[in-house]
Amino acid sequence: MAAALNRSSRSDRDRRPSPDALLAEARRADGHGDARRGRLKIFLGAAPGVGKTYEMLTAARARLREGLDVVAGVIETHGRAETQALVEGLELIPRRLIDYKGGSLDEMDLDALIARRPAVALVDELAHTNAPGSRHPKRHQDVEELLAAGIDVYSTLNIQHVESLNDVVAQITRVRVRETVPDSVLDMADDIEVIDIAPGDLLRRLREGKIYRPEHAARALNSFFTAGNLTALRELALRRTAQSVDDQLLNHMQAHAIAGPWAAGERVVVCISEDPRCAGLVRYAKRLADRLRAPWVALAVEGRRSLQLTDVERDRVADTLRLADRLGGEAVTVPAAGGRVADDVIAYARDNNVTHIVTGKSERSKLFELLHGSVVQDLVRRSGNISVHVIAGDAAADGAPVPKKTVGAAAERRSFDARPFVAAAVAVAVALGISEVVQRFFAVQTVEVVFITAVVVVAVRYGLFPSLAAVVAGSLCYNFFFLPPIYTFTIADPSNIAALFFFTVVAVLVSNLAARTRSEAVIARGRARSTEALYGFSRKLASCGNLDDVLWATVFQIASMLKVRVVILLPEAGGLALRAGYPPEDQIDEADLGAATWCFDNDRPAGRGADTLPGARRLFLPMHTGRGCIGVVGIDGDAPGPLLTPERRRLLDALSDQGGLAVERVRLVEDLDRAKLLTETDRLRQALLTSISHDLRTPLASVLGAASTLRDLDDALDADAKAELLATVIDEAERLNRFIANLLDMTRLEAGAVAPNLGEHDAGEIVGTALRRAGKILTAHRVDVEVAPDLPPLDVDAVLFEQALFNLLDNAAKYAPEGTAIRVQTWGEGRRVHVQVLDEGDGIPEGDVERIFDKFYRARKGDRVRAGTGLGLAIARGFVEAMGGTLAASNRTDRRGAAFTLSFEAPARARRAGAAA
């Protein structure tokens, strides 16, 4: 009954849609509004000239006739008249010109196309590499931005440009294609239409000059365009499309909870256990999948029985799964759902549209199958329209014969531990003592509950076999001490025989269920611990700000969770360099370095336990991110045999992937910082050159002009003219001196060399000194000064304070029209003293209130504004903040103009003196 209920609940659960499939389908569905993602349709061909662009334009014209807004972003007709005829009448976005090495290149205008927002955009040649200076390096990234903007896209692609097929195409055609697109681009396509043409027809089109010019066609016929090459490329295109369609079919079945399989495509699953013959099953599954040209999976079910396996058996399962990986299959481990193993296999097969299941022939006894059931019989009985292949298998993985008594069971058991059985005996003895007390006050049936409770406690704590021992001991105690005649194993009343029988049956069932629950709880706790550790690791990586911290956190986490020694090597100076290790290591030997280098270059495991360079001390595994292999993780341990079980390998992969992503994140941040620094440096360099070219040349030109006039026309000039020329020389020299001083002051600020010489000074005196120094600058303005009489002295550097005020006055004189007033006022407010400079200019443009303090930044200005470097305000703020004050800018509220306010906190002793007064 319980098994039937379990199967029923499992069946209900299997009919539920997959959340992941529903999410994927929702992403593909048409939406509305700004959140809608565009749909991508790819016209896929086996080679140039098959008619991809022609078919795309034909489909676009059909959509245009339906009333949709279709716009061509980029179309490559290659001079073909029939293709050019289809372009006529379509709206074409003009291409954007990009300067490159003295010439110009034209590229699709992505911004114009997004601003136009058509219903369908035509973007030819998806694998195209954009010209330097474009927003994205590849055209498929432009397409992704169009899709994100809610625009449907039609595009074209040849199969040789798919990244995963690049090596295969190079082997077939002996031509290495440089422009590729990631496989994920094909995976995100909503529709793929194969444009197919027979190789003979394509060769005829080539000879007729419909693909290339005659001089190019002859060369193509002798290299790329051969009948064999085209046939192979045609098969690749059809198979890659079939794979995408098969994935969409599987997603549709999972999203709509359709019970499979639909035999639209073949899939093979081989069942893996600790049986030594499973290696032979894997090889058979490989041969079967090759005959069917189908993907295949090696499946291991991890349940209660997995906890009872010996280390040798666990390693055997791991070796078999690694064999599947090496043979090109996919190794998968699924947790048991609590029922029979066959139920888990069938559930996986139906969820993944599997059409063939390969399993080993059972050689267990009839009695064993009667008591425990047969996985093979259950698979055959419940497989429905899934084909089940039952294979004998006559040799172990190492070629040695398998003794029949060990087939399907553990050949080696763990050493016997008597402590659980002693604990079971103690639990029964305690239950017996409690029962002796309980029976004096309640009926004898209550004793059964006490003994069953003891059985449940033993089952939950120690598992199945100790609980069965408790059942036997409890049944004997119940018979001997509580069923009359007591203190004998004889039962006089037939009803007591039935009571003992049903007590024993119930105790066995309860112990079995409790033990199963315990084993599932143990597995769940282990998975929860791993999940919690991975979550904690991800949070730790998120808080790491530099590469060394990320690498140290990664090696420590791997070492602590897998109990191994760990090193990480990253590419550096043309080779691999040891960057982190736990326990810390300074270097690795030549054998390990060679294995690590081979692993990095070939993106495959190497070293201890691997197929390549197995003599190395460590096992090296590549660290992957979306950009490929970025480094190598090396592990070693003291225990003999394989370093990683399937569970530990999955855990290592998860940790390595997280660490790799964190490394990439840190490097991206560093690249971004460097790019920002280079951009800022270039901006400052341009601003400095512009400022120097103007602010040096202008005063120098005035000085040279006045000096030359004095030299050449000295006798012809009167005293007033000479005095005016000398004044010009002095004024322009002072202006030049201020410019040089500003540059030197900014250099001191950036170098941290400004050390204020603080002392108590009167704010009014410093204001007066600054005004006298700026007298010449302020001659064209009316200056109003209002200094509060009761201000406390300020703890400032008088020289820096004066320079800051001078820069503010100079700024006011530049930006305020002649004849307007410049006002300087001071006042106290609580603990702070404020000094404010106000002008009657146009004020500060909105958005520039803070930017005016940036180096070399100057607000918008008219022709009347005197030239400047854009450093004065930046220096003023730097000096004020170095003395512990603040400098803020704002626009006046009473009239037009700007206001700059310096604020300082009065010294504590000055405040106390003022309070006492």
Q: What is the pLDDT at residue 407?
A: 34
- Which letter, b or e, does each residue of 734-758 get, where b requires 16 or more Cβ atoms within 10 Å of its Cβ? ebbebbeebbebbebbeeeebebeb
Bigger pLDDT: 364 vs 814: 814
Q: What is the pLDDT at residue 226?
A: 65
pLDDT value at 11 more than 50: no
Q: What is the pLDDT at residue 903?
A: 92
Q: Tens digits of per-residue pLDDT, 359-385?
A: 888 776 666 666 566 778 888 887 777
Q: Tens digits of per-residue pLDDT, 625-665?
A: 766 788 899 998 887 766 776 667 777 888 888 888 888 88
pLDDT value at 681 more than 60: yes
Q: What is the DSSP string of 752-797?
A: T------EEE-HHHHHHHHHHHTTTTTTTSEEEEEE-TTPPPEEE-
Q: In whole angstroms, give the CA distance from residue 108 to residue 126.
A: 12
For residue 152, give the nearest of 125, 191, 180 by alpha carbon.
191
pLDDT value at 863 more than 80: no
Q: What is the mean pLDDT of residues 70-87?
A: 85
Q: In whole angstroms, give the CA distance from residue 910 to residue 713.
A: 61
Q: Tens digits of per-residue pLDDT, 136-189?
A: 888 988 999 999 888 999 999 888 888 877 666 676 666 777 788 887 888 788
Lowest-confidence region among 49-63, 261-275, 704-718, 766-780: 261-275
Q: What is the pLDDT at residue 868?
A: 57
pLDDT value at 334 more than 70: yes
- Indicate the pLDDT class of residue 902, thresholds 50, 70 and 90: very high
Q: In whole angstroms, give the CA distance from residue 876 to residue 746.
A: 10
Sign of CA dihedral 772, 776, 779, 781: negative
Interstrand relation of 152-158 and 606-607 (parallel, antiparallel or unpaired): unpaired
pLDDT value at 861 more than 90: no
φ and ψ at 285, to 5 degrees?
-60, -40
Q: What is the pLDDT at residue 311?
A: 66
Helix (H) or strand (E) holding 622: strand 619-625
Bigger pLDDT: 618 vs 215: 618
Helical packing angle, 872-882 and 798-815, nearest 10°: 150
Lowest-confidence region among 12-16, 29-33, 108-112, 234-238: 29-33
Q: What are the DSSP E strand ranges found in 788-867?
A: 794-796, 821-829, 832-838
Full 3-state SS string of 341-378: HHHHHHHHHHHCCCCEEEEECCCCCHHHHHHHCCHHHH
Helical packing angle, 464-482 and 445-462, nearest 10°: 160
For residue 621, give the nearest of 678, 700, 567 by alpha carbon.
567
Asked whether 173 and 224 are in contact (CB, 8 A), the reply is yes
Q: In whole angstroms, give the CA distance from residue 367 to residue 379.
A: 19
Q: Tens digits of per-residue pLDDT, 389-408?
A: 888 765 444 444 444 433 33
Bigger pLDDT: 279 vs 222: 279
Q: What is the pLDDT at residue 122?
A: 93
pLDDT value at 514 more than 90: no
Sign of CA dihedral 257, 259, 264, 265: positive
- Indicate the pLDDT class of residue 340, thresholds 50, 70 and 90: confident
Helix, strand or coil for residue 606? strand
Q: What is the DSSP string of 550-586?
A: HHHHHHHHHHHHHTSEEEEEEEETTEEEEEEEES--S
Q: In whole angstroms, give the CA distance from residue 332 to residue 298.
A: 6
Asked whether 212 and 220 are in contact (CB, 8 A), the reply is yes
Lowest-confidence region among 242-251, 532-541, 705-714, 783-792: 242-251
pLDDT value at 430 more than 80: yes
Residue type, 871: L
Asked whether 175 and 142 are in contact (CB, 8 A), the reply is no
Q: Tens digits of per-residue pLDDT, 25-76?
A: 555 554 434 457 888 999 988 777 788 888 899 999 999 888 899 999 999 8
Asked whether 774 and 876 are in contact (CB, 8 A), the reply is no
Full 3-state SS string of 124-179: CCCCCECCCCCCCCEHHHHHHHHHHCCCEEEEEEEHHHEHHHHHHHHHHHCCCCCC
Q: What is the pLDDT at residue 118?
A: 92
Helix (H) or strand (E) holding 519: helix 494-542
**% of residues, the chain, pLDDT over 70:** 74
Q: In whole angstroms, give the CA distance from residue 375 to residue 342.
A: 6
Residues sharing a CB contact under 8 Å with residue 345, sequence separation 6 or more, in sequence order = 269, 271, 299, 301, 357, 359, 375, 379
For residue 142, give the nearest of 169, 162, 112, 164 by alpha carbon.
112
Helix, strand or coil for residue 205? helix
- Indicate the pLDDT class of residue 864, thresholds 50, 70 and 90: very low
Bigger pLDDT: 321 vs 518: 321
Asked whether 236 and 208 are in contact (CB, 8 A), the reply is no
pTM (two decimals):
0.43
pLDDT value at 836 more than 90: yes
Rg (CA), the chain: 42
Of 29-38, 432-441, 590-599, 693-702, where does the model show the most confidence?
590-599
Asked whether 599 and 633 are in contact (CB, 8 A), the reply is no
Sign of CA dihedral 383, 386, 390, 391: negative
Q: 636: which 2 tokens?
A: 């070693």
pLDDT value at 617 more than 60: yes
Average pLDDT over the chain reads 77
Of 597-606, 676-685, 717-726, where does the model show the most confidence?
597-606
Bigger pLDDT: 442 vs 338: 442
Lowest-confidence region among 171-180, 253-262, 752-761: 253-262
- Indicate the pLDDT class of residue 223, thresholds 50, 70 and 90: low
Residues sharing a CB contact under 8 Å with residue 453, sequence separation 6 or more, in sequence order = 431
Q: What is the mean pLDDT of residues 425-453?
A: 79
Bigger pLDDT: 502 vs 294: 294
Helical packing angle, 341-351 and 2-14, nearest 10°: 10
Q: What is the DSSP string of 638-690?
A: SSSS-S--HHHHHHHHHHHHHHHHHHHHHHHHHHHHHHHHHHHHHHHHHHHHH
pLDDT value at 483 more than 60: yes
Q: What is the mean pLDDT of residues 877-886?
A: 86
